Structure 1
Amino acid sequence: MLKKDKILIIEDEFIVAYDLKMMLTKSGYLVAGIASTVERARQLIEQKKPDWVLLDIILKGDETGIDLAHELLQKKIPFLFISANTNHTILEAAKATQPYGFLVKPFRERDLFVMLDIARYRYGIEMGHIHQNANEPETSNISIDGIIGKSLALLNSLEKIKIVAPTNTSVIILGESGTGKERVAQAIHQFSARKDNPLVTINCAALPINLIESELFGHEKGAFTGANQKRIGKFEQANGGTIFLDEIGELPLESQVKLLRVLQEKEIERIGSDTTMKVDVRIIAATNRNLEEEVSEGRFRLDLYYRLNVFPIQLPTLRERREDIPLLVNYFLHKFSNSTGKKNTRISESALQKLQEYDWPGNIRELEHLIERNVLLASNQEIMDIHLPNISKKQVVRVPEQFINTMEEVECEHILKVLNACQGRITGVGGAAEILGMSTQTLYAKIKKLGIKTGYK
């Protein structure tokens, strides 16, 4: 997105819309107009042909920004959401429209332009408008030690690494345990301009709760009992380089606040110090938790989630890329045959078939350990059989087909029951929204999504 491109603002709060217009105009962008309803937005899209759209979710009228987002996706008009709505269901619906970013109100001018710059870069790469600078590390043929395969699911993840590695953008790596999140973090650092500076890794789940801030930000001598000397924290150690925060979902809320400050202000403060220091650190985070659920349950800050979720990379499970299992098996056979001195170890077709039929709850890490163990136990050059873990499966209860409902059908039925019990009243004390434990806006959105025909108010 080059300066002078036209941006359409779709926002029903006049003050927010006007502030956006002033920010964009001052920075050199053209504002194609402001719309407060989906109907008016459609008119401006046809008349002005905007290059980008800033789109609020909850608008005046019956239609939402999510309704319009699906149309923008079909028209291939890139857009970013701006919203104060933090409901998990709406967040999921918004994600399905494939926005280029999500800005949470209230936001600062700096937040807006960081998000626009990232969106510009992603869109430019996807459309072929941006080609890699000659001074940037070559990433067209990324090879990550220990992450082997040619499946589409894996290649999609590697393509995202190629896009984001040369930038300074914060990245969050999502995936089950054992899918290779740390190796991906190492690759992002390796293919960045920071590769000659430190990559500092810290496992948030392994930090004692009373030492988290000291580990991350350091402390001065005498800051607390036992602080006999000054300690340099992980962020300071990573200055000029990258810090990898593994298992970020385990970080306590108090520490999340301080981490957010580092992301926003690029500065830290040692415990016991009354001065701050600037740090130039790129943050890569990883988790096997569903952070959106953590946000909805109040265990993870929404503002930190959006700060980290600028460029998510979802790693596929091994069961989602079974066609890569033979390549991975051969890779690990070669690796452990060499390290143990057992040359030319191979695997029988029947044993390989068993590996391809297994579900791999521990993913690549589990496969690696299994191959290592079997190479050590092999009495000759061929592994004839593999003994897989005997993980008992819960008994499947067969339910007659006529009693099976989808989650949407169950949700729809429940909402209708509550609405009937409330005699159609949605708002106010004793209204359906209060009984269901959700905001009025969210309930209206669900009624619309589920196709509940009603005149309820």
Structure 2
Amino acid sequence: MMKKILIAEDQFIEANNLQLILQKAGYEVTGIARSVSAAIEMVDNNEPDLVLLDIYLKGPLTGIDLARKLRQRNIGFVYLSANSNEKTLNEAKVTQPYGFLVKPFREKDILVTLDIAWYQHEQFLPARRNNDRTGTRNTHPSSIAAFNGIVGSSAGLKQVLDNIQVVAPVDTTVLILGESGTGKEQVASAIHKLSPRKNKPFVKVNCAALSTTLIESELFGHERGSFTGATDRRIGRFEQANGGSLFLDEIGEMPLETQSKMLRVLQEKELERIGGRETIRVDVRIIAATNRDLQREVAEGRFRMDLYYRLHVFPIQLPALRDRKEDIPALAMNFLRSFAAANNRLVKNFKPECLEQLIRYNWPGNIREMQNLIERSVLLCKTDTITEISLPEPARVTGATINPVSKGMEQVEREHIIEVLTRCNGKLSGSGGAAELLQLPLSTLNYKLRKYGISREISILNNPPKTNH
């Protein structure tokens, strides 16, 4: 049976092009509506399986108003949009669409997005109907102990694992969102390993760790003599990842001029090395990640809206560790066993009071911070049980608990970096330096120091004021 799609789009040419693409792909188009009232009438007369709806339609109501009504009727939908402000995008996300398609449309993008939408609809519609009927949450048949090294069984983590399983087999772009240290690289690796590209390269690039002058050479490559210091031809990361997946971490830090070239590669699947004349075709799946609010970056002109839409085909939001505290004991034991084995230590357990400490702590550095803390605790432990956890002093849980959400995560991260710098006496690199303790490349740490204006704190640490006796 042909799947039925309703198009809610007020622009005749775009609606007609969509109809031709869908019919060519074997879909039945039940109609084209140019207003919310017309769409509701068409839904009543011939209920579609899915609706493609523009955010802006004719009349007083918007596509978001229509989306709310479709959700009440358990009809899936995908948004169509050319540009929208941050407020509108946030309102659209709340309605839980199956995806976003950016204008102008590419046939492949439409069909891939629809494949994902059908999969999600078939997987989650029975659960949603059951939840609507009973008011209960659907649970997994069994709690998840480990998934490619991702440990835990909280509801938030299960949603992430659901999303990984949905998107991994489908060759589409993924945007992983979450605070620093939440495990974005692990999620990207899991998506690659569960995909048809699993036997091809998985290439990682940290956009924040590259200077503006180097990032294009790193991504797209360069020819010999193309600029001062280019003594040899360099194959860029896109070419290295050909046939596989390219993980672009901290993509929110990418310079605007590079973003435009990135957009071309995503659209055309081709590039030119710096200083080169040859157009090179590449077959690469993009998995991007950021700890920034990209919608805000778009609204403030620091990130291209068209690139945002290209990346935002399938977003995965990772929960902060403070929002999945039920996973902390399992994570702590996993790290304990791993570091004990790696360092030939006989440490086997935590004193119950230590686990209580870990659960009560708010973890501004998330899983990465816990990993570093457990490793240190294992190395310092003299028996088979960890009896003391040295949590950062300023963040010890007392009657006045620090709330990272109300304080602002950037402020919390700034204070966490300063606290680590204090512990290592302002030392940035090398053994026992802040970069090692924070598990950050030195270039990324230097970027964060500039971002948060921490240079003065380092100067004070390295040159403490002299006291008169």
What root-mean-square deviation, in Å, do the aligned CA atoms of Structure 1 and Structure 2 show? 2.2
CA contact (8 A) 2:205 2:247 kept: yes
Match in the other structure for 2:262: 259
Is residue 51 of structure 1 aligned with residue 54 of structure 2? no
Give the alignment of 1:279-358 within 5 angstroms.
279-358=282-361
Per-residue CA deviation, residues 192-246 of structure 1 (Å, 9 max, x unaligned), is 2222211111100011210111111111111112211111111111111111111
Match in the other structure for 1:205: 208
Q: How far 1:125 moved relative to its partner?
A: 3.9
Unmatched 5+ stretches in structure 2? 127-142, 401-469
Give the alignment of 1:78-93 within 5 angstroms.
78-93=76-91
Identity of aligned residues (%): 57
Mapped to 2, the partners of 1:344 and 1:378 lie a distance apart of: 7
Out of 196, 209, 226, the residue aligned to residue 223 of structure 1 is 226
Match in the other structure for 1:77: 75
Q: How far 1:362 moved relative to its partner?
A: 0.6
Match in the other structure for 1:380: 383
Moved more, 287-296 or 15-24: 15-24
Q: How far 1:325 moved relative to its partner?
A: 0.8
Per-residue CA deviation, residues 329-384 of structure 1 (Å, 9 max, x unaligned), is 11111112222222134211111111100000011111111111111112322222
Mapped to 2, the partners of 1:345 and 1:158 lie a distance apart of: 28
Mapped to 2, the partners of 1:9 and 1:373 lie a distance apart of: 57
Moved more, 154-163 or 52-61: 52-61
Mapped to 1, the partners of 2:323 and 2:395 lie a distance apart of: 21
Match in the other structure for 2:374: 371
Mapped to 2, the partners of 1:228 and 1:200 lie a distance apart of: 24
Q: Give SS of 1:211's match.
A: helix
Match in the other structure for 2:157: 154
Out of 102, 108, 123, the residue aligned to residue 104 of structure 1 is 102
Give the alignment of 1:119-268 within 5 angstroms.
119-127=117-125, 143-268=146-271
TM-score (norm 2): 0.77
Mapped to 2, the partners of 1:269 and 1:122 lie a distance apart of: 37
- One-letter amino acid of the structure 1 residue matched with residue 357 of structure 2: K
1:159–1:105 Cα change, 3 Å: same
Mapped to 2, the partners of 1:218 and 1:354 lie a distance apart of: 48
Q: How far 1:33 moved relative to its partner?
A: 1.5
Q: How far 1:71 moved relative to its partner?
A: 0.9
1:142–1:235 Cα change, 3 Å: farther
1:11–1:142 Cα change, 3 Å: farther
CA contact (8 A) 2:102 2:310 kept: no
Q: How far 1:83 moved relative to its partner?
A: 2.4
Aligned residues: 382
Mapped to 2, the partners of 1:99 and 1:261 lie a distance apart of: 26
Q: Give SS of 1:225's match.
A: coil
Mapped to 2, the partners of 1:389 and 1:344 lie a distance apart of: 22
Mapped to 1, the partners of 2:13 and 2:195 lie a distance apart of: 40
1:142–1:119 Cα change, 3 Å: farther
CA contact (8 A) 2:154 2:324 kept: yes
TM-score (norm 1): 0.79
Q: How far 1:145 moved relative to its partner?
A: 4.8
Match in the other structure for 2:63: 65
